[in-house]
Structure 1
Amino acid sequence: MQVGYKLPKVTFHTRVRDESVSGPNPFRWQDMTTEDYFAGKRVILFSLPGAFTPTCSTYQLPGFENGFADFAALGIDEIYCMSVNDSFVMNKWAQGQVLENVKVIPDGSGEFTRRMGMLVRKDNVGFGLRSWRYAAVIKDGVVEAWFEEPGISDNHGEDPYGVSSPETVLNWLREEASGAAA
């Protein structure tokens, strides 16, 4: 992935809460496009191997959630968490993480992830096709900064984490802001 890359046009099948839907599951299907999420905004997108997994649930997602005010102060409009999981899984994970700031994007079929060049096999841990861990700063649908964990490969023996951490992205934004001010 390179800085300046325009995000692929993909439709995401999401489930959104709708109070007009009766019963124990008040959600309806709503298709969202790449443009719906990214057009006219400066956002952070981070993608990870799976909802409910230890590193994702303990460090990466909470770090972006808890640091939202710092990111917003540096010109970030939204923070999105993506995974090759369906909308039901992503919504339940978001609920369990008590998210107020980070929004989840389900890439259930892995189409967006594949077209980003980040789809890998994780059969060695029983996951099948998943996203390699990365983060990006995206402005109006174009990659402004890219943070990819090292060693991208199918069935990698480890789950590297650090390059795509909230702290790394925040440090880049701070350096970029201080450079722009100079």
Structure 2
Amino acid sequence: MKAGYKLPEVTFHTRVRDDSIEGPNPFRWEDKTTSEYFAGKRVILFSLPGAFTPTCSTYQLPGFEKGCAAFREQGIDDIYCMSVNDSFVMNKWAADQGLENVKVIPDGSGEFTRRMGMLVRKDNLGFGLRSWRYAAIVNDGVIEAWFEEPGLCDNHGEDPYGISSPENLMKWLKGEKAEAVA
């Protein structure tokens, strides 16, 4: 479906630590583009409905964090976790999860997610607009393999998880039978 598709070029508004800033919030704004994240690298991008949510915090994010070394052995340079959350939320979630390997990308306005065709309404959960759960292997900004959970629609009654799992992506990278949408 999306294999061969070039990622949309957007600007992400991030907050980065700056030790020259004193006080309890030593961060500054830094805009980063799609190209700055993805150019010249082979990465995993996975997107999920929300920081601090059960499946995302218990399985998906920790699974990619723990599997980072094995993914690097398969030729992956970086692993990015994206959500339609602002940088403050994503940074706090990353800190709470103790991330050392996975990098978070805040898509606060949902622009990247919308342009990927993955922005859905989650009003039934009180979330508003969020990302449908998916993952991709991205090579130099172009999708090499696409892993989308079934049932993409607004206000889905469930939160499917499995196709975008770290275990499924690892199977695909190893050439084993994995669920992917080419």
The alignment-based identity, stated in percent, is: 81
Superposed displacement of residue 91, structure 1: 0.1
Pairing 1:3-14 to 2, within 5 Å after superposition: 3-14=3-14
Cα distance in 2 between the residues matched to 1:144 and 1:21 = 40
User: Aligned residue for 2:41?
Assistant: 41
Superposed displacement of residue 99, structure 1: 0.2
Q: Secondary structure at the match of 2:70?
A: helix
Q: Secondary structure at the match of 1:69?
A: helix
Cα distance in 2 between the residues matched to 1:75 and 1:39 = 15
- TM-score calculated relative to the size of structure 1: 0.96
**Consecutive unaligned residues in structure 2, runs of 5 or more:** 177-182
Q: Secondary structure at the match of 2:62?
A: helix
Cα distance in 2 between the residues matched to 1:121 and 1:2 = 21
- 1:172 paired with 2:169, answer no
Q: Secondary structure at the match of 2:81?
A: strand
Q: Where has structure 1 moved over 2 Å in runs of 4 or more? A: none
Superposed displacement of residue 122, structure 1: 0.1
1:38-92 Cα deviation digits (max 9, x unpaired):
0000000000000000000000000000000000000000000000000000000
User: Aligned residue for 1:160?
Assistant: 160
User: Aligned residue for 2:136?
Assistant: 136
Give RMSD over aligned pairs: 0.7
- TM-score calculated relative to the size of structure 2: 0.96
Superposed displacement of residue 144, structure 1: 0.1
Cα distance in 1 between the residues matched to 2:3 and 2:35 = 18
Cα distance in 1 between the residues matched to 2:38 and 2:113 = 15
Superposed displacement of residue 130, structure 1: 0.1
Superposed displacement of residue 2, structure 1: 1.3
Q: Secondary structure at the match of 1:99?
A: coil
The count of residues paired between Structure 1 and Structure 2 equals 176
User: Aligned residue for 1:91?
Assistant: 91
- 1:66 paired with 2:66, answer yes
